[in-house]
Chains A and B, each alone.
Chain A
Amino acid sequence: MARVGVFTCFCGANIADFVDVPRVVEETRKIREVRCSIEYKYMCSDPGQQMIRDAIVQQRLTSVVVAACSPRMHEKTFRKALSDAGMNPYLLEVANIREHSSWVHQKDKKAATDKAIDLIRMAVAKSIANEQLYEISVPVTKRALVIGGGIAGIQAALDIADARIPVTLVEKSPSIGGRMAQLDETFPTLDCSQCILTPKMVDVASHPYIELIPYSEVIELDGFVGNYKAKIRKKASYVNFANCTGCGACWQKCPVKVPNEYNMNIDKRKAIYTPFPQAVPNKPVIDAAHCTMLLKGKCGICAKVCEKGAIDFKMQDEIIEREIGAVVVATGYDLWDPKPYEEYGVGRYKDIITSLEFERMVSANGPTGGVPQRPSDGKVPKTVVFIKCIGSRDEAKGIEYCSKICCMYTAKHAILLHHKVHDSHAYIFYMDIRAAGKGYEEFVKKAQVDTAATYLRGRVSKIYKKGDKLMVRGEDAQIGQLVEVEADLVVLATAIIAPKDNPNLARLLGISYDKYGYLSEAHPKLRPVETAKAGIFLAGCTQAPKDIPDTVAQASACAAKVCGLFSGDTMKKDPMVSKVNTEFCSGCQNCVTVCPYGAIVTEEIPMGHGSKEMRVVSKVNEGVCQGCGSCVAICRSMAINLSGFTDPQIINEIVAI
């Protein structure tokens, strides 16, 4: 006979004000299996837990029901109380009489009390069918996979590797560095971006614990936390990196010119190229989409000039497999295409550019040598209009959210413009100035005062051409008048958007993403770097728009999480996993099909004791199983059951009221 103890919590006044706790105690005491029913002001407090421990020992309880707040809140607390009293912690059931009764039926005390009693009845009935369960120990592969080699991926990889944990860093493009490598200077200190980033890039390449796989993509991820298997496709670079010295003879001689992505297509690169001079690894790759040798079999000049014979036109994509324990996703961001702003003449007027194009122009290693030029005639612009919130905070044309960094980099651009072209003047059209951050407000003030940039609050309604100038017509909402600015160059601060590959990557990794394509964190406030899938973490703009300090902080947080995960040789795992009763299993393998994790495999067992004839049955890999219970509902012979949520437990709950 089961001996159940019921412990009802007042939760101060939270429960007691709306549920008649003494009546609950009286009613639940009448349940046949209940040995004791106790009430207390705060069950989760130390004296409250002591009451549970005492009752377990004195009443020789076989299961415990705590009627209090949601099990998502204090289930762990009470489980610990059970184990402290020498009882299996999984013999606990929590009846949620706060979130599901006292807080939602505050106007009807009788109904709330009746409901609370029913909820406790259900929990008691369920607890009778509870089984003793034991935590599962899973071995951990101590290697981390970092996807994306921008500043987020670099920081995460370095921090993890510094803890002497091997890291595999996978980068899609030929070099690490990401968006930050494209920046000239960074706000709010105007540090040279390259100067602070490239040493870190070199550290990654030379770190004994980091394996850098550039020009490659993750194509498959199997397994579970601590025991993932990743497949990485290394794209054919057609250059044998082992032989290549990075001398550069090949790209100097290559005759094929291709728009240069690194410089936002302002100038050209060759078909064999390194993205930028400080690239890591500093080895060229051949762009297969443009190389005439690969497309038509004509040319091959690079192979002729290469003294080391590093060019190999027959190279194939290579699949690399790695066993890893945790994944850090840092795929960064893309920029929104401002084409929908037709009234600005985007696409028609050459002298309307985006902020990143402007950034490349003012960059010392950029296509114009650090001095901005008008794309139409190459003249140095004297009057530049910056328009913020292009696509951001714009439900009609773009996206609803704020891209977070545009206010700051536009202020930076105004300052940089002033540095590069002393007699220039910047006009900035803005909706709001959002400069929350250390030194940020002061930086905007600097742009407004030191460089005398004119900040105009209002939207631009139209841009049209007048001679070789662009007339920018907008509103200055602060004086309530229309204004027109005769501009040489217009710079649009386009919104940050999630990389378009994010949904595919999310599906491949088995994590979720939001409606914009950003990867979702497990909890927006309290678990901002974890995903809902254990062992997969997020760093940088792949989760939401961020500036560099926030990105670096999040990347380091990821590293701390990974190091924590790898702190022991084994990992504890919840025992709520499926179990197969081979006696009943008919081997139909429906469960194998339905399992989203591939946790169910088949095995052969003898037909009967000592029999030589074999039959096929299912078998659950406890380490892989996440405990969803899909297999239980699909099993026709009821041979499979989910510990903690077995059929008898749930049926008991249903018939209890």
Chain B
Amino acid sequence: METEVKETKGQVVSAENPGIVAPADWQPVIMGILCNWCSYAGSDLTGTSRIQYPPNIRIIRVPCSSRVDPWFIIKSLQTSADGVLISGCHPGDCHYISGNYYARRRFLVTKKLLNFVGYHENRIQFSWVSAAEGPKFAKVVAKVTEDIKKLGPLHKYKKENLK
């Protein structure tokens, strides 16, 4: 299912549900789940190189991208995040030999499923960032943040609205 992104004045509208709106200065929350050996190390390098990126991402460290259960993605979107970024080692470079291949297949299926149930495909993004790619990590985060800002809030799925 393709969801169209709508442009409005003065407020941001959710791409999935036109009923959900937020003020124009709304900032999305992005859950970043990074593998310890490549992407987390890469994000550390972004820090040590003082490369600036948007502050919307909240980073969780896991040993390998294959540790990421689709449950984490769904739970993030349900409770706290407007988008999810998952990043691992480049295919072929997995610290655990083959973990990111499993991850890659699993993500594709998860993304299709979430797309099918109504989430815009850009809400769930994957990237491969190596430990040496500090600048790339900043670029990826900037791009993901930009994409999710366009998609608007996921309010109705948020914790405080469920209460």
Residues of A within 8 A of B (CB): 70-73, 96, 98-101, 103-108, 111-112, 114-115, 118-119, 122, 510, 512, 532, 576, 594, 596-597, 626-630, 632-634, 642, 645, 647, 650-651, 653-657
The answer to whether B12 has its CB under 8 Å from any CB of chain A is no
Q: Name 17 interchain pairs, CB-CB below 8 A, sorted by A.
A: A98-B47, A103-B47, A103-B48, A106-B52, A119-B59, A512-B93, A594-B102, A596-B99, A628-B67, A629-B64, A629-B66, A632-B67, A632-B69, A650-B62, A654-B31, A654-B72, A657-B80
In the bound complex, what is the Cα–Cα distance between A654 and B33 (angstroms)? Answer: 10
**CB <8 Å contact, A104 and B60:** no
Binary per-residue interface labels of chain B (102-141) against chain A in the complex, 1 for a CB within 8 Å, 0 otherwise: 1000100000000000000000000000000000001000
In the bound complex, what is the Cα–Cα distance between A330 and B92 (angstroms)? Answer: 22
The answer to whether B15 has its CB under 8 Å from any CB of chain A is no
**CB <8 Å contact, B64 and A104:** no
**CB <8 Å contact, A629 and B67:** yes
- Given known pairs A628-B67, A645-B67, the reply for A654 and B80 (CB within 8 Å) is yes
Q: Which of B2-10, B35-43, B146-154 contacts A (4 or more CB under 8 A)?
A: B35-43
**CB <8 Å contact, A100 and B47:** yes
**CB <8 Å contact, A107 and B59:** no
Binary per-residue interface labels of chain B (7-44) against chain A in the complex, 1 for a CB within 8 Å, 0 otherwise: 00000000000000000000101010000110011011
Chain B contacts for A101, CB-based, 8 A: 55
Residues of B within 8 A of A (CB): 27, 29, 31, 36-37, 40-41, 43-44, 46-48, 50-53, 55, 58-64, 66-72, 75-76, 79-81, 93, 95-99, 102, 106, 138, 159
**CB <8 Å contact, B47 and A99:** yes
In the bound complex, what is the Cα–Cα distance between A99 and B48 (angstroms)? Answer: 6
Chain B contacts for A96, CB-based, 8 A: 44, 59
Of all chain B residues, which has the CB nearest A634? B102
In the bound complex, what is the Cα–Cα distance between A105 and B52 (angstroms)? Answer: 6
**CB <8 Å contact, A104 and B96:** no
**CB <8 Å contact, B46 and A99:** yes
With beta carbons under 8 angstroms apart, the residue of A104, A111, A115 that contacts B138 is A104
Chain A contacts for B61, CB-based, 8 A: 71
**What distance in Å separates the Cβ of B128 from its nearest Cβ neighbour in chain A?**
14
In the bound complex, what is the Cα–Cα distance between A647 and B41 (angstroms)? Answer: 22
**What distance in Å separates the Cβ of A597 from its nearest Cβ neighbour in chain B?**
8
In the bound complex, what is the Cα–Cα distance between A9 and B71 (angstroms)? Answer: 33
In the bound complex, what is the Cα–Cα distance between A645 and B99 (angstroms)? Answer: 16
With beta carbons under 8 angstroms apart, the residue of B27, B43, B53, B97 that contacts A596 is B97
**CB <8 Å contact, A650 and B50:** no
**What distance in Å separates the Cβ of B70 from its nearest Cβ neighbour in chain A?**
8
In the bound complex, what is the Cα–Cα distance between A89 and B70 (angstroms)? Answer: 30
**What distance in Å separates the Cβ of A657 from its nearest Cβ neighbour in chain B?**
5
